[in-house]
Amino acid sequence: MPFLLLIEDDDAIRTALELSLSRQGHRVATAATGEDGLNLLREQRPDLVVLDVMLPGIDGFEVCRRIRRTDQLPIILLTARSDDIDVVVGLESGADDYVVKPVQGRVLDARIRAVLRRGERESTDSATFGNVIIDRSAMTVTKGGEDLQLTPTELRLLLELSRRPGQALSRQQLLRLVWEHDYLGDSRLVDACVQRLRAKVEDVPSSPTLIRTVRGVGYRLDSPQ
């Protein structure tokens, strides 16, 4: 049973989502403020955090940043507008996905399960790209012998790119493969995740040699020359 931490200040929304997610088979802990949520996170170990952007005191962006300083567990943002700057800032803060309010419990449940599936093992081989080694059996990535701390979404993105070395994948392909979005999804999810992943796997993130941008298409994973 997945254990979720829901941080939402609106009492009605928090109660409704807690009930809906519980009925979907999740165990849910709740907090009404960012401070309380961070305290709960230290006391317990959720599998995923559902985080509202607009919180009193410490807002959702800062909560997300603080979590990312020490932890790579999945984070889904709840935001009021899909075209707002909130989405960009949230993704740059380290969120894995977002859902636009008003939130339907079944939609949120589907996103949660999709994010959690990103950490599941799928094969037993490994791949090497320069000094980066991807162990698909252990679901780990090392760079120069050092373990990299990747979120499940970052790991899944790297796995999908590594299965097709040298092949450009469009943003829409990656949205389907990684985020399981079957519609014309938000390419900002892909771009933000690539940016975070480059910061961890590239020697010089501003001049990437592994994860290359293919203009007008998307991204590909190359071995450095």
Measured CA to CA, the distance from residue 209 to residue 202 in angstroms comes to 7
Q: Which tokens sit at 170?
A: 């469009």
The DSSP call for residue 179 is I
Measured CA to CA, the distance from residue 16 to residue 13 in angstroms comes to 5
* Amino acid 14: pLDDT: 96
Measured CA to CA, the distance from residue 148 to residue 212 in angstroms comes to 19
* Amino acid 124: pLDDT: 61
Best CATH choice for the domain 3-117 from the list 3.40.50.970, 3.40.30.10, 3.40.50.2300, 3.70.10.10: 3.40.50.2300
> What count of other Cβ atoms lies within 10 Å of the Cβ of residue 178?
27
* Amino acid 223: pLDDT: 78
pLDDT in tens, 52-80: 999 999 999 999 999 999 998 999 999 98
* Amino acid 147: pLDDT: 95
Q: Which residues of 43-82 are buried (b: 16+ CB within 10 A; e: fewer)?
A: eeebbbbbbbbebeebbbbebbebbbeeebbbbbbbbeee
Q: Which residues of the chain have pLDDT under 70?
A: 82-83, 121-124, 182-185, 224-225
Report the CATH number of the 146-221 domain.
Answer: 1.10.10.10
- Tell me the whole-structure pTM to 2 decimals: 0.80
Q: Is 62 left (phi over 0), alpha (psi -120 to 50) or beta?
A: alpha
- Give me the residue spans of the domains in the chain: 3-117, 146-221
| Cα-to-chain-centroid distance, residue 84 | 19
Contact between 115 and 154 under an 8 Å Cβ cutoff? The reply is no
Measured CA to CA, the distance from residue 63 to residue 203 in angstroms comes to 28
* Amino acid 78: pLDDT: 94
Query: How far is residue 193 from each of residues 64, 150, 154, measured CA to CA in Å?
Result: 14, 11, 6
115 CB-contact burial (10 Å; exposed 0-12 / middle 13-18 / buried 19+): buried
* Amino acid 81: pLDDT: 72
Contact between 27 and 69 under an 8 Å Cβ cutoff? The reply is no
* Amino acid 182: pLDDT: 65
